[in-house]
A and B are shown apart, each in its own frame.
Chain A
Amino acid sequence: MSEYTLTAQPALGGYQETFEGVSLEEQTGLAIVSIATPIGGEDALVKALKDGYGAALPKTGEVSLSKDGQTRFLGMARDQMFAIFDHTEPDAVDIVGGKLKDVAYLTSQSDNWVGLRLSGSKSRDVLERICPLDLEPSRFAEGKVARTSMEHMGVIILPDGADSFLLITASSSAASFLHAVETSIQNVVG
């Protein structure tokens, strides 16, 4: 037995700041699992999602919620979705696998990404400076998800409240992305 144990470090050190009209917070316990549909396996996946989570298979660009409200399934591509839920340990694949059995190909994505929640009345004004998507509430509200690029970095964005957005971006460039969002806040707020 090694005398050492490993300590987990959040990619942005658990960043959390509040500004006038907007706050920005790293989502440190965010588990993400990629779920890919095998060819011919959609029916089985639909059933497993229903049985295991009480959730529907999301269309690309849409989000479906588990019955207990704890897990969101983001439709990422024609044959791929992400399950996201709060879970601090790196065994999220096992948890999803336990619910879905062997009906899909699962890959842990928790450490690939960093989640940042941007919320507050000025959140759209802040995002307007970096996000090319139309975030107008009637067009992009809870239940929607999109992949886009902000300041040359890939971002998954989903509204998770009236004035709240979850921004999921690659963990290696998270410091750059945080700088981009902070710059927007600095430029817009106050």
Chain B
Amino acid sequence: MTQTNRISGGLVDRSKTLNFTFNGKNLQGHPGDTLASALLANGQRMMGRSFKYHRPRGVLTAGSEEPNALVQLRAGAHQEPNTRATVAELFDGLAATSQNHRGSLETDLMEVTDLFSRFLSAGFYYKTFMWPKSFWEKVYEPIIRHSAGLGRLSGQEDPDIYDKGFLHCDLLVIGGGPAGLSAALTAGRSGARVILADEDFLFGGRLNAETFEVDAMPGSDWAERARAELTAMDNVRLMTRTTVYGAYDHGIYGALERMTDHLPTSSGKPRQILWRIYSKRAVLCAGATERPIAFGNNDRPGVMLAGAVRAYANRWAAAPGKRVAVFTNNDDGWRTASDLSRAGVTISAIIDSRDGEPRAQIPGATVAMGGRVMDTCGRKGIRSIKLVDGRTIDADCLAVSGGWNPNVHLTGHQRGRPAWREDLAAFVPGEDLPAGMAVAGAANGALTLAAALSEGRAASEKALNDLGISPNGGDMVKAEDEAADITAFWHVGESKARAWLDQQNDVTAKDVKLAHRESYRSVEHLKRYTTLGMATDQGKTANMLALAIMAECTGKTIPETGTTIFRPPYTPIAMGALAGRARGKDFRPYRLTPSHKWAEEQGAVFVTTGMWLRAQWFPRPDETHWRESVDREVAGTRGSVGVCDVTTLGKIDIQGRDAAEFLNKLYVNGFAKLAVGKVRYGLMLREDGMAMDDGTTARLGEHHFVMTTTTANAGPVFRHMEFCRQCLWPELDVNLISTTDGWAQFAVAGPNARKLLQKVVDPEHDITNEAFPFMACAELTICGGTKARLFRISFSGELAFEIAVPARYGDSLMRVLMAVGEEFDVVPYGTEALGVMRIEKGHAAGNELTGQTSAANLGMGRMVSKKKDCIGNTLSERPDLNRDDGLRLVGFKPVNRVETLTSGAHFIALGKSAVMDNDEGWMSSVTFSPELGHSIGIGFIKQGSERLGEVVRAVDLVRGKDIEVEIVSAHFIDPEGERLRV
């Protein structure tokens, strides 16, 4: 087959031939072709099978509204299903396959479903698969799932890359047809920053599909001249292959630019870019979409929209048929007949539903004014049409025009409703447009050329005036308005055969009537019951017909019936484009500790905490289980000394004359009298009295404090403090700044911690117990003069310090600590060992500070000072938070020491059933204690502190455990804190 339907003219480049395949068949086309135009040029009318009934389908439209010609493009991992052939630009080597058939496209075994169509009407699956109930999961659902969908995903990871970006402009012009080009030229010549975006690969819109003249030259030439002029302007950005898919708040628009879809390969560059466009003003020039007329068997390949037939002939030099008939209710359909006739295609008939005189003389054509097409014949493509007057007319293509619908979609993205125009028999944009948006041209109901050009210019001038830019659009372009009369006509009532409204979802006029009989009145319900207007085309060619039929059924007008809500995206967007570059380990940012490189060298296993990657443990080659490593790290630390990178804890530098007072108001306990050179543990509450975060705060100077927060709450606590500073107590002289990343901080813990540190701290600084007792802090120097901060605080329960140096020295300090610690058998320890030791010591952490626990629950009720006020103080006094039988944090040991405790288990009294009414609390953290040699846990239980020694059950229904546990002090080791103070 060699382009049997290629005719003369058009905007394809015949000097080059492109080879492509369709279902493995080798075909040729030219640059400028779409896949659909090339298939038509090759005489390929049938392009796919319909969704439900597997009926043969050909291309209906020439644009992004296409419901039928959905194909699978490319192969292997690059395979992409449900691509509209009408917008797939042809390239050399393109491989396309048709979809949704078992067997070949021509002989689809699933066509049998069409015979059962009377059982498969709207909502059939709600009615059909009701019994037997047991069949649903095992029989019906698998069958439905197998039948569902059109194309197939490759099942492999998408090998393409995608990107996102941000653009800014004074004026965004959406659509590059006559109105859009006119708007962009006006704004561009006036010096405004303009973005002109069009989904097509060629600017011009309908100018490329028609034979109109602008400024005494063919419209497509004028469009090309406009493009060239705009390209030369530095203040204009032209974006072809770019669909503005959504209108969002504050003049922000979403746009998808297809960068390499028209090329054989992406060559390592992004395939598509999702842009966020910040516009000061926007003009929507999205054009209009032609709609069909419903009649019997109007879905056969060869039945197409009249404007599309004209576009294929005029722009792509592809005749959709050899004998073309036209069925229209408006003047536009006649242009299809005259244009094709001029191009040498036989026009067999023109059927106009309106009475009156023929609108043109078409040689050889039968003219039926007041006529209607009732049915079509031809199994795999139309052969002839039947009129209601009984005549049969041969045609291998029927061009249908039911009028044009302005593309109002983006005007409704912020819930604006369109308004009805009786003279157009169509909805136009309503008054409630997104802020900053104007609409011009066919999208605004100006369906004729001169009106579109003029509206584009006027909308642009208005936007420029709003922005304080003087419009300087040059001379008005010269063009004429074409005839565009229409008399609304929606469907042929005489048709007995099924009349298709939504060809993508196989919804017929009967389905809409059935939905009405079954009491579906709202169009939103109609949509969901019948599936009308869903999927890739969102019913762009279907919705109006269905609304009209629904209106007839209900006896209401079309505007009274209303439309469904328009939502983004205007056309489909690949999930990959929405994800952009956020994939794999770069799905979100990660933060590295200063000792990360060193830890990697040690073979550390890392865990994500917040965004940080922290060393979880440091396995040695002979260790086969993580517990071995963790137990060794704990034993090494408690036995001698361990080092842990605790840089991730939030650090907030607090300075100001009122810094102490600020902290006093923030923490439940007092800080005003904290001496310089001392650290204090602090607990802060939320306004509602529940515990928010805890940590230590060191006083480095009279007006200078450094607070630490938990890793997870570093951001939220800082935000909370800024809120307090700026909004609650603006009169306080206090300033905050995060220094989390600025200081590398290491915990050095264990009986030999001091000895190790004495080897790095410069000798003029005395860190003996007497000079530097528990909870002391100092700014000092280490390793021969490097400034550092030393805090004597302990999370592990051992003699411990935290030493901080500017982050640039973090890696070096870790290596030095390991080197000087060799004589003490120093061990690095990770977050698991850290967790083990803090549970052994009974310290609360994230599992306990859940936002649902109070100071009293945590056993810190008495810390809430009543001598001063603080955030959350008043509401912490609520009676229910201070009940005698309230929850208290205590420790738990399994009665049978070999049992393993689980966090999340709930406490139930012995002999009681495990139901909510008997729930007494829950286990929040558990660990195996190397120190004690068995599993331990901490958790909250009613009156816990008064029940030490009592045995209850820890019931974990999720993991199927029911273990007897003894209530004990949460401080499993060194309850008096003697180790801390040596």
Q: Is B824 an interface residue (CB 8 A)?
A: no
Q: Is B878 an interface residue (CB 8 A)?
A: no
C-alpha gap A81/B655 in the complex (Å): 15
Closest to B785 in A: A5
* Shortest 4 CB-CB contacts between residues of A and residues of B: A36-B735, A172-B591, A105-B655, A176-B589
* Chain A residues with a Cβ under 8 A of chain B: 1-2, 4-11, 34, 36, 38-40, 79-80, 90-91, 105, 107-113, 128-134, 136, 151-153, 170-173, 175-177, 179-180, 183-184, 186-187
C-alpha gap A56/B759 in the complex (Å): 47
C-alpha gap A36/B704 in the complex (Å): 13
Please name all residues of chain B whose beta carbon is closer than 8 Å to the beta carbon of A91 when the two chains form the complex: 787
Please name all residues of chain A whose beta carbon is closer than 8 Å to the beta carbon of B763 when the two chains form the complex: 1
Please name all residues of chain A whose beta carbon is closer than 8 Å to the beta carbon of B161 when the two chains form the complex: 187
C-alpha gap A170/B805 in the complex (Å): 17
Please name all residues of chain A whose beta carbon is closer than 8 Å to the beta carbon of B787 when the two chains form the complex: 90-91
Q: Tell me if B167 and A128 are in contact (CB < 8 A).
A: yes
Main secondary structure, interface of A, reads loop
Q: Which of B932-946 contact A (CB under 8 A)?
A: none
Please name all residues of chain B whose beta carbon is closer than 8 Å to the beta carbon of A153 when the two chains form the complex: 589
Q: Tell me if B743 and A111 are in contact (CB < 8 A).
A: yes
Q: How far is the CB of B339 from chain A (nearest CB, A)?
A: 42
How many chain B residues touch A (CB < 8 A): the figure is 64
Please name all residues of chain B whose beta carbon is closer than 8 Å to the beta carbon of A39 when the two chains form the complex: 656-657, 731-733
Q: Tell me if B733 and A4 are in contact (CB < 8 A).
A: no
Q: Which of B267-283 contact A (CB under 8 A)?
A: 268-270, 273, 276, 278
Q: Is B762 an interface residue (CB 8 A)?
A: yes
Specify which of A80, A109, A134 is in contact with B735 (CB 8 Å cutoff). A80
- Selecting from B182-190, B807-815, B845-853, B922-930, the interface stretch reads B807-815
Specify which of B612, B703, B813, B820 is in contact with A6 (CB 8 Å cutoff). B813
**Can you name 5 extra interface pairs (CB under 8 A) apart from A105-B656, A111-B742, A187-B163?**
A36-B656, A90-B786, A107-B655, A108-B739, A152-B588
Q: A2-B760, A129-B165 are in contact. Are A173 and B591 (CB under 8 A)?
A: yes
Q: Tell me if B786 and A5 are in contact (CB < 8 A).
A: yes
Q: How far is the CB of A42 from chain B (nearest CB, A)?
A: 12
Closest to B744 in A: A111
Q: Which of B337-386 contact A (CB under 8 A)?
A: none
Q: Is B741 an interface residue (CB 8 A)?
A: yes
C-alpha gap A90/B739 in the complex (Å): 14
Q: How far is the CB of A170 from chain B (nearest CB, A)?
A: 5
Contact with A along B766-808 (1 / 0, CB 8 A): 0000000000000000111011000000000000000001111
Q: How far is the CB of A29 from chain B (nearest CB, A)?
A: 11
A/B interface sample: 11 pairs, CB < 8 A: A90-B806, A107-B655, A109-B742, A111-B741, A111-B743, A129-B166, A172-B612, A172-B740, A175-B590, A179-B586, A184-B163
C-alpha gap A137/B437 in the complex (Å): 26
Q: Tell me if A152 and B589 are in contact (CB < 8 A).
A: yes
C-alpha gap A47/B175 in the complex (Å): 56
Please name all residues of chain A whose beta carbon is closer than 8 Å to the beta carbon of B268 when the two chains form the complex: 186
C-alpha gap A4/B42 in the complex (Å): 80
Contact with A along B247-277 (1 / 0, CB 8 A): 0000000000000000000001110010010
Q: Which of B55-86 contact A (CB under 8 A)?
A: none
Q: A1-B762, A105-B735 are in contact. Are A176 and B590 (CB under 8 A)?
A: yes
Q: Tell me if A128 and B656 are in contact (CB < 8 A).
A: no
Q: A36-B737, A38-B733, A112-B738 are in contact. Are A9 and B808 (CB under 8 A)?
A: yes
Q: Tell me if B806 and A109 are in contact (CB < 8 A).
A: no
Q: A6-B813, A9-B812 are in contact. Are A129 and B163 (CB under 8 A)?
A: yes
Please name all residues of chain A whose beta carbon is closer than 8 Å to the beta carbon of B166 when the two chains form the complex: 128-129, 131-133
Q: Is B160 an interface residue (CB 8 A)?
A: no
C-alpha gap A139/B733 in the complex (Å): 35
Q: Is B854 an interface residue (CB 8 A)?
A: no
C-alpha gap A80/B586 in the complex (Å): 32
Q: Tell me if A112 and B165 are in contact (CB < 8 A).
A: no
Q: Tell me if A6 and B783 are in contact (CB < 8 A).
A: yes
Specify which of A1, A107, A131, A176 is in contact with B784 (CB 8 Å cutoff). A1
Q: Tell me if A110 and B163 are in contact (CB < 8 A).
A: no
Q: How far is the CB of B856 from chain A (nearest CB, A)?
A: 36
Closest to A125 in B: B165
Q: Is B653 an interface residue (CB 8 A)?
A: yes
Please name all residues of chain B whose beta carbon is closer than 8 Å to the beta carbon of A79 when the two chains form the complex: 735
Q: How far is the CB of A79 from chain B (nearest CB, A)?
A: 7
Q: How far is the CB of B378 from chain A (nearest CB, A)?
A: 49
Please name all residues of chain B whose beta carbon is closer than 8 Å to the beta carbon of A183 when the two chains form the complex: 163, 581, 586
Please name all residues of chain A whose beta carbon is closer than 8 Å to the beta carbon of B809 when the two chains form the complex: 6-9, 90
Specify which of B740, B741, B808, B813 is in contact with A90 (CB 8 Å cutoff). B808
Q: Tell me if B586 and A176 are in contact (CB < 8 A).
A: yes
C-alpha gap A90/B810 in the complex (Å): 13
Q: Which of B606-648 contact A (CB under 8 A)?
A: 611-612, 647
Q: A79-B735, A108-B806 are in contact. Are A2 and B653 (CB under 8 A)?
A: no
Please name all residues of chain A whose beta carbon is closer than 8 Å to the beta carbon of B807 when the two chains form the complex: 11, 111-112, 171
Please name all residues of chain B whose beta carbon is closer than 8 Å to the beta carbon of A9 when the two chains form the complex: 808-812
Q: Tell me if B816 and A4 are in contact (CB < 8 A).
A: yes
Q: Tell me if A112 and B739 are in contact (CB < 8 A).
A: yes
C-alpha gap A180/B587 in the complex (Å): 11
Q: Is B168 an interface residue (CB 8 A)?
A: yes
Q: Tell me if B762 and A151 are in contact (CB < 8 A).
A: no
Q: Tell me if A38 and B786 are in contact (CB < 8 A).
A: no
Please name all residues of chain B whose beta carbon is closer than 8 Å to the beta carbon of A36 when the two chains form the complex: 655-656, 735, 737
Q: Is B540 an interface residue (CB 8 A)?
A: no
Closest to B808 in A: A8
Q: Tell me if B593 and A172 are in contact (CB < 8 A).
A: yes
Q: Which of B872-903 contact A (CB under 8 A)?
A: none
Please name all residues of chain B whose beta carbon is closer than 8 Å to the beta carbon of A11 when the two chains form the complex: 807-808
Q: Tell me if A108 and B656 are in contact (CB < 8 A).
A: no
- By CB atoms of chain A within 10 A, which of B761, B787, B808 has the most? B808
Closest to A131 in B: B166
Q: Is B322 an interface residue (CB 8 A)?
A: no
Q: Is B553 an interface residue (CB 8 A)?
A: no
Q: Tell me if A5 and B784 are in contact (CB < 8 A).
A: yes
Q: Is B148 an interface residue (CB 8 A)?
A: no
Closest to A134 in B: B168
C-alpha gap A5/B741 in the complex (Å): 22
